[in-house]
Structure 1
Amino acid sequence: MKRLLGLCLLLMLGSCGGVGVERYAAEQPRLDLAQFFAAPVEAWGIFQKRSGEVAKRFHVQIASHREGERLILDERFLYSDGTRQRRVWTLTPEGAGRWRGQAADVVGVARGEVAGNALRWRYRMQLPVDGSTYEVDFDDWMYLMDADTLVNRSSMSKFGVELGQVSLFFRRSPGGQP
């Protein structure tokens, strides 16, 4: 019983730590979401189970446009098994580097914060798996590498237990200035 309590305490302490996005405030190049997504973007990614096994590979084509201050991202996924998925994000700036995001399969509102070259998104998503749908939590970290490359590392969890990770590499048309 003491071991179980110790393990629970260790898990709780581990989940409280971590780096805040403000750690990256001085990093360059600075990430401007609206500017990065002003041109068409392609992305390639994988989902890895906790064991490290790659369970899915995918390609994403992203088109965007502005509606006032809102940024609309239309994502079209093609998975290695031939399945397709579409997600349309509506991103709204909330000042001081903060963003709010909504999509049909996101439960409630996604919350994001940008500092320097980094963006951290946190949200709950309805994830279809083998004919069932599960609500899972995502903790996304995105890092602008250069003007045209964005790297994303996401942790997916349920009840605080990590289920797997998503790695995603975004590339926009070189020199994709509007």
Structure 2
Amino acid sequence: MRMVLVIASIVLLSACRTSVYSEEYETMSPNIDVFTFFNGQVNAWGIVQNRDGQLVQRFKVDIKGAVNQQEQLVLDETFTYGFGEGVKHRIWRITRYGDSFKGNASDIATEATGDIYGNALRWQYEMDLPVDDTTYRVHFDDWMWAFDKCTLMNRSYIKKFGLVVAEVTIFMQNREPSMGCTGGLHP
């Protein structure tokens, strides 16, 4: 019985270590503007680590964003992998409702929802994730933070049964000259 309590405590503590509190970001600047940041050419670089911290994927994403006539942000994402395998192409359609968002993509199992907290965006959804010969329904809890008008950092926690099974780290840069974004951090 004692061993069961020790294991349960470890599991609960490890689940808590990835908690992010939205209130922390309400007053931080710069405020994140998803429709402005992703409107145009965005390049991204990321890694996926399993729960042991081992690298399981390294990838680049070419993102072409545009706001359509229905006032939706459409993100056309093309992935290339330096290590590991994964989705090659995804198209997001995102609708804004004040400081909240809803979106979908063909390989996303549920409608994604998001909320702005100052310089952060929390984006959540479920996805059927293929691993070897099996597919798992997992929950993505993404947090994006604006560094400046041209740079975002994304941290995703992939969960199954409420436990983090993998983490994704992505660095994104808007490359639009019209925004003054040509590389590096900007004021």
Relative distance call for 1:6 and 1:51 in structure 2 (3 A) is closer
**Alignment gaps of 5+ in structure 1:** none
Match of 2:174 in 1: 172
Relative distance call for 1:111 and 1:43 in structure 2 (3 A) is same
Q: Is the 8 A contact 1:39 1:176 kept in 2?
A: no
Superposition pairs for residues 62-101 of structure 1, below 5 Å? Answer: 62-67=63-68, 68-81=70-83, 85-95=88-98, 97-101=99-103
Q: 1:94, CA displacement in angstroms?
A: 2.1
Match of 1:60 in 2: 61
Q: 1:52, CA displacement in angstroms?
A: 1.1
Letter in 1 for 2:29: Q
Q: Is the 8 A contact 2:41 2:174 kept in 1?
A: yes
Match of 1:143 among 131, 142, 145: 145
Match of 1:125 in 2: 127
Once the two structures are overlaid, the 10-residue window that deviates more, 128-137 or 39-48, is 128-137
Structure 1 distance, partners of 2:160, 2:20, is 21
Q: Is the 8 A contact 1:148 1:175 kept in 2?
A: no
Relative distance call for 1:59 and 1:113 in structure 2 (3 A) is same
Match of 2:8 in 1: 8
What TM-score do the two structures reach when normalised by structure 2? 0.84
Letter in 2 for 1:27: M
What TM-score do the two structures reach when normalised by structure 1? 0.88
Q: Is the 8 A contact 1:38 1:177 kept in 2?
A: no
Relative distance call for 1:176 and 1:142 in structure 2 (3 A) is farther
Q: Is the 8 A contact 2:41 2:176 kept in 1?
A: no
Secondary structure of the structure 2 residue equivalent to 1:23: helix
Q: 1:6, CA displacement in angstroms?
A: 5.7
Q: Is the 8 A contact 2:40 2:66 kept in 1?
A: no
Letter in 1 for 2:130: P
Q: 1:15, CA displacement in angstroms?
A: 5.2
**Alignment gaps of 5+ in structure 2:** 181-187
Quote the RMSD (CA, aligned, Å): 2.4
Secondary structure of the structure 2 residue equivalent to 1:80: strand
Once the two structures are overlaid, the 10-residue window that deviates more, 165-174 or 14-23, is 14-23
Q: 1:108, CA displacement in angstroms?
A: 1.6
The structure where strand makes up a greater share of residues is 1
Structure 2 distance, partners of 1:22, 1:162, is 22
